[in-house]
């Protein structure tokens, strides 16, 4: 047991000791991006519509090889009986991903199982109407970029679980790791689209009545769509007729200027 703990501590220390220049981080992230597009049978474009657990395995392996010299995979292989598993979760709606360590009382440490699950709902509901989203405080311009950032976050969870049998993305060591390895500016496993942002920060969603001011004039309308800006329809007799029989003018309003009516 003591030996196992020492091995975990050594593994963790090794990982803690490494740093990458930002340019190096970006180059490796880019390489993983290109490799996946070239080799995955599902991920053929940056805003892919289908993904499998095998693709997650490939993404993990690439991340492990380029950033950790494959030490994570080797550590799991030599210390545990079961291989690391990958799963697509259709249930999770708030987190982009989760990493779990499953142990049962009275069973040897070697029987511990590790799993990385990626949530499909936030991933596939973003980049439909929106051109960007945010994961870990990093702007992502495609579904593949968002997936990579989510995987990076989960990889650090796995590193902590393997090294210390515990993991907390709100704590300082995690924040330092995710920044040093992947350049994340915030530590959360959420995928935030502009409409998530509008809902969480401003309490505004599509269909809501809002007010806003342009050049000193105040308008009242309904949010029709949220991208970088909100599309707000304001009743206007000179506007275009919509399917509800009313005429509207369309305004593109920066999100922070909206107020709930």
* Binding site residues, Zn ion, CB under 5 A: 169, 189
User: Strands, E, within 144-201: which ranges?
Assistant: 191-192
Please say which residue, 149 or 189, places its beta carbon nearer to Zn ion.
189
End-to-end Cα spacing for the chain: 62
Please say which residue, 64 or 160, places its beta carbon nearer to Zn ion.
160
For the bound state, the minimum distance from the C-beta of residue 250 to Zn ion, rounded and expressed in Å, comes to: 39
Please say which residue, 161 or 206, places its beta carbon nearer to Zn ion.
161
In this structure, are strands 138-140 and 133-135 parallel, antiparallel, or unpaired?
antiparallel
User: Is the separation of the CB atoms in 152 and 197 below 8 Å?
Assistant: no
For the bound state, the minimum distance from the C-beta of residue 160 to Zn ion, rounded and expressed in Å, comes to: 10
Dihedral sign from CA coordinates of 91, 156, 168, 161: positive
Dihedral sign from CA coordinates of 28, 32, 33, 38: positive
For the bound state, the minimum distance from the C-beta of residue 114 to Zn ion, rounded and expressed in Å, comes to: 15
For the bound state, the minimum distance from the C-beta of residue 96 to Zn ion, rounded and expressed in Å, comes to: 9
In angstroms, rounded to a whole number, what is the distance separating the alpha carbons of residues 214 and 42?
Answer: 45
Please say which residue, 173 or 239, places its beta carbon nearer to Zn ion.
173
For the bound state, the minimum distance from the C-beta of residue 154 to Zn ion, rounded and expressed in Å, comes to: 7
Tell me, rounded to whole angstroms, the distance of Cα 204 from its chain centroid: 22
Please say which residue, 15 or 169, places its beta carbon nearer to Zn ion.
169
Q: If 0-12 CB within 10 Å is exposed, 13-18 middle and 19+ buried, where does residue 137 land?
A: middle
Residue closest to Zn ion (Cβ)? 169
């Amino acid at each position: 047991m003591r030996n196992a703990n020492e091995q975990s501590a050594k593994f963790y220390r090794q990982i803690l000791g490494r740093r990458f220049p930002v340019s190096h981080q970006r180059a490796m992230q880019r390489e993983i991006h290109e490799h996946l597009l070239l080799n995955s049978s599902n991920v053929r474009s940056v805003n892919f519509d289908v993904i499998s657990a095998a693709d997650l395995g490939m993404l993990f392996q690439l991340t492990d090889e380029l950033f950790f010299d494959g030490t994570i995979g080797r550590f799991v292989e030599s210390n545990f009986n079961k291989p690391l598993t990958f799963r697509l979760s259709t249930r999770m709606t708030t987190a982009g991903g989760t990493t779990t360590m499953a142990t049962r009382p009275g069973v040897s440490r070697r029987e511990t199982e590790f799993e990385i699950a990626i949530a499909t709902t936030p991933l596939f509901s973003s980049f439909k109407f929106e051109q960007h989203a945010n994961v870990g405080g990093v702007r992502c311009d495609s579904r593949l970029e968002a997936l990579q950032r989510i995987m990076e976050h989960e990889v650090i969870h796995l590193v902590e679980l393997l090294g210390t049998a515990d993991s907390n993305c709100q704590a300082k060591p995690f924040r330092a790791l995710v920044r040093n390895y992947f350049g994340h500016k915030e530590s959360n496993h959420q995928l935030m689209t502009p409409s998530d942002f509008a809902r969480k920060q401003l309490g505004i969603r599509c269909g809501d009545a809002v007010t806003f001011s342009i050049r000193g004039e105040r308008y009242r309308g309904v949010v029709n769509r949220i991208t970088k800006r909100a599309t707000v329809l304001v009743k206007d007799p000179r506007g275009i007729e919509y399917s509800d029989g009313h005429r509207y003018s369309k305004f593109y309003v920066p999100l922070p200027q909206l107020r709930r009516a």
